[in-house]
Amino acid sequence: MKRSGQIMLVVIGGAMAALAAWWIMRPPPQVTVKVKAVTRSVPKPQGTWVRQQQVGGGNYGETPAVSGAPAIARVQVAGQPVRELIPNQEGAFPQVPVRPGEKIMAEVTWPEAKAGDEVLIQMEDGGTLGAGAMSQAALLNEHKGVAFEVHAPVEAGTCRVALSRGEDRKVLEFEVVEGTTIQ
């Protein structure tokens, strides 16, 4: 009986060693992850909207989808047709060339805003608003927009108009260029 017990321990010990060796040498477990694609609208840097796929389900750490319609700027430089501009992801509208000292009419609308929301309009890097002011507060009209006049600086360079509606900031940029041909 004593000998059969020892044999039994050797057999069990061998089986345990074989099991341990198998456990160490086994292939890693296969993990299956389900990923769903979410389609969202994002603007390209030149102001053109495209459809892009976002992988994942909108969990922590992922880029949130852009909600709703973008702000739209309508800009008219003296003697030229109205340009309609859409901002990029950072809120900057495409640059518009103007002549030194030129008068520019602009309107920015936020389709998802409420009429009566306050917008702060500020000049950056030269130029003035309507009556020579550097900034002004305005309320969105019934079309959810705000219209204003900009006077480009007399020297060449860049003139920016920053519009802040709560946490939403948009920037109109005008390139003041010397010469007579502006496209």
- 3-class secondary-structure state, position 96: strand
Greater model confidence, 162 or 179: 162
| pLDDT (0 to 100) of residue 48 | 43
Residue 121 sits at φ, ψ, to 5 deg, of -110, 125
Task: Give the pairing of strands 135-139 and 96-98.
Answer: unpaired
Provide the pLDDT confidence category of residue 17 given band limits of 50, 70 and 90.
Answer: confident
First to last CA, the chain: 105
pLDDT digits (tens, 9 = 90+) for 140-149: 999 999 999 9
Strand pairing partners for 74? 84, 107
pLDDT digits (tens, 9 = 90+) for 123-167: 998 889 988 889 999 999 999 999 999 999 999 999 999 999 988
CA distance 121 to 171: 10
- Pinpoint the alpha helices (H) of 26-149: none
pLDDT digits (tens, 9 = 90+) for 33-82: 565 555 454 444 444 444 333 333 333 333 333 445 789 999 999 888 99
pLDDT digits (tens, 9 = 90+) for 76-106: 998 889 999 999 999 999 999 999 999 999 9
Q: 68-176 in CATH: which number?
A: 2.60.40.10
Q: What sign results for the dihedral spanned by CA atoms 94, 100, 105, 108?
A: positive
**Is this structure's pTM higher than 0.85?**
no
**Widest distance between CA atoms in the chain:** 113
CA distance 170 to 152: 18
Provide the pLDDT confidence category of residue 14 given band limits of 50, 70 and 90.
Answer: confident
pLDDT at 21 over 60: yes
| pLDDT (0 to 100) of residue 29 | 65
Contact 76, 147 (CB under 8 A): no
Contacts 24+ apart (CB under 8 A), 147-150: 147/105, 147/106, 147/107, 148/106, 148/107, 148/121, 149/103, 149/104, 149/105, 149/106, 150/103, 150/104, 150/106, 150/123, 150/174
